[in-house]
Structure 1
Amino acid sequence: MNPTPAPEAPPAPACYRHAQRETYIRCTRCDRHICPDCMREAPVGHQCPDCVRAGHQGMREARTVFGARTGAGPVLTYLLIALNVLAYLLELARPDTVDRYDNLGQGLLGPDGKAYVFQGAGVPLPPGFHLSGVAHGEWYRLITSAFLHQPPGQGTFGILHILMNMYSLWLFGRVMEVQLGRIRFLALYLLSAVGGSVLGYLISPTEAALGASGAIFGLVGAYFLMTRRMHSDPLGGGRQLIASVIWLVASAGITSWQGHLGGLLTGLLLGTAFVFAPRKARAAVQVAAVLAVGALLVGGVLYQTAALTG
């Protein structure tokens, strides 16, 4: 008698992504076979890469109460500090940088690169001199001045000027960038800086000013409002705001109080929209606030420019 051949064993199952790899492990979600390279840890068992990816797509991204994505670091804060430091080093290498890029509304720039007081219309300009300032097309001064600080040995504070401002930016910027998100934080910082420059241009156009103080005051104002909404105040927002107002008044004769006040008011306006915007219309309200504040600042510059140039 011929022996009956044993039935052939069924082929071992293979991974659905790697046909040459045998495996008996299945995805707990789709029940397909997966090899060790395709296994992904799950609350129960393992899942395949496709099921893990589909699960992530269905998850809502975590955000702060102000609309920022969670988990992002304060990259812009450190970048802004670096830009201020680089501008300061440029001032040391090229002293004429201050006169060319500070917040001067209307003045004269001499052939030596230094700024001089403008005597008014009808007075002939000396040879080699030309009109300069925001009123004469140099709008960039409204923002470049916010990255300049008093060189060592000049002004009331010298190098302390940039040290105090950068410490404040480091202190408030890290918290606010994480809570507001990079775009809102950058809009708040830059518009507060421009807001301080614009108020200085409106009130004292022939006096040059410089420094990041307007932007810092804007951060302080917005931070105070943010802590009211969060019911948490790790940096003492109330005390910081009071101290800022006291400093604004006390330093009126030695610093640009106009820049401080303009930055603070701008920060409070934008901060109100960023912090208290209703969730369902949060993005629309915040964008509208940025555009409205920007338009207000542009209108102020146009008005003063027309008044100065006739």
Structure 2
Amino acid sequence: MLPDEPRGSTDRSPEAGPPGCYRHPQTPTGISCTRCERPICPQCMVPAAVGFQCPECVSAGHAGTRRATTRFGGAPTLDGGLVTRALVGINLVVWVLAAYVLNPRLGEVWSLASAGRAHLGGPYGVADGPGQWYRLLTATFLHLQWWHVGLNMLVLLWLGPPLEEALGRLRFLALYLVAGLGGSTFAFLVAGDWMNSVGASGAVFGLIGATILMQLRDRGPLAPALAFLVFNLVVTFSRPGIDWRAHIGGLVLGGLTAFGLMYAPRGRRGTVQWLTLAGAVALEAAMLWTGMALYGA
């Protein structure tokens, strides 16, 4: 502005007094927002690192702040093993109830039992219909021998916390449940005509597969996880009485789910991850319906 140019009408003379708040014009104030310089009254002042800001500038600043996440999009927590310990606790409580308090009733009601329509008294268990499908989940928390629950929980305590910390609690829990159900539904698909199975091994095998994928994703050491998988597969197929179908089903479904959770593109991570979980559940539902067509009423 030139020295002899007339000033705009927006300039206020000293006699006019302080300006009014931009939200409450009737309230005069001498304070301005440090970002947009609009006048703000005490009711609208929001303390900032320097001076005060108006509510709109504060909201705009919050909207532009990126939410902190784990490596694969979960909410970060101070305790990365809470869900793992909760799962271990649930399995141990169910084992005590099944082995010492409600023996043998709980084992009979919660096991992954199934008999097809061709057998006397069939269909029974899972093959009997939706009223018995709960066994697909309850069997993954049921153990009858101390060594069985002990081995599974040791592996869960070893593999669970790193995966939970990387994925976040909700995604880790979803992975565990999807892997466990994957083992149950695959076992029913293959052997639902005559079977009885218990244990969290399907879910544990899913965590083994997820650990291998996480090492691949992070370019970490693969040898320990691969060696552990090979060892468990050898035991699975060399010892009688082990339900290899639940192990393989949990490994495959857990691996597929972990792949979608860990390799989802950053820009569409949430959408791809939840579509992955939905696809895994849909695949399990397809195996269940196919098994029902083979063995059910």
- With normalisation by structure 1, the TM-score equals 0.72
Q: Tell me the distance in 2 between the aligned counterparts of 1:104 and 1:184.
A: 29
Structure 2 residue 71 is the aligned partner of structure 1 residue 60: no
* Matched-pair contact (CA < 8 Å) for 1:106–1:135: yes
Q: Secondary structure at the match of 2:198?
A: coil
- The residue type paired with residue 95 of structure 2 is Y
C-alpha displacement at 1:213, in angstroms?
1.0
Name the CA shift for 1:52/1:309 in 2 (closer, same or farther; >3 Å). closer
Match of 2:106 in 1: 97
Q: Tell me the distance in 2 between the aligned counterparts of 1:283 and 1:41.
A: 33
Name the CA shift for 1:175/1:305 in 2 (closer, same or farther; >3 Å). same
Q: Tell me the distance in 2 between the aligned counterparts of 1:49 and 1:168.
A: 54
Stretches of structure 2 that go unaligned for 5 or more consecutive residues are 1-30
Structure 2 residue 111 is the aligned partner of structure 1 residue 136: no
Q: Tell me the distance in 1 between the aligned counterparts of 2:203 and 2:48.
A: 47
* Matched-pair contact (CA < 8 Å) for 2:123–2:296: no
Superimposed CA distance per residue, residues 171-212 of structure 1 (whole angstroms, 9 cap, x where no aligned partner): 222221221122321221111001111121122222211111
What do you get for the CA RMSD once the two structures are aligned?
3.7
Match of 1:82 in 2: 89
Stretches of structure 1 that go unaligned for 5 or more consecutive residues are 1-24, 108-117, 151-157
C-alpha displacement at 1:220, in angstroms?
1.3
Superimposed CA distance per residue, residues 34-55 of structure 1 (whole angstroms, 9 cap, x where no aligned partner): 99xx99784xx67679677764
Superimposed CA distance per residue, residues 90-128 of structure 1 (whole angstroms, 9 cap, x where no aligned partner): 212101211111111227xxxxxxxxxx9x44x4x5xxx
Residues 13-32 of structure 1 mapped to structure 2, 5 A cutoff: none
* Matched-pair contact (CA < 8 Å) for 2:74–2:170: no
Name the CA shift for 1:177/1:261 in 2 (closer, same or farther; >3 Å). same
Q: Structure 1 stretches (4+) deviating beyond 4 angstroms?
A: 25-35, 38-41, 45-57
Higher mean C-alpha displacement, 71-80 vs 49-58: 49-58
Q: Tell me the distance in 2 between the aligned counterparts of 1:296 and 1:145.
A: 19
Match of 1:18 in 2: none
Structure 2 residue 292 is the aligned partner of structure 1 residue 276: no
By relative contact order (CA 8 Å, sep 6+), the higher-ranking structure is 2
More helix by share: 2
Structure 2 residue 181 is the aligned partner of structure 1 residue 173: no
Match of 1:6 in 2: none
Match of 1:184 in 2: 171
Q: Tell me the distance in 1 between the aligned counterparts of 2:53 and 2:156.
A: 46
Which residue, out of 169, 175, 181, partners 1:194?
181
How many equivalent residue pairs? Answer: 272
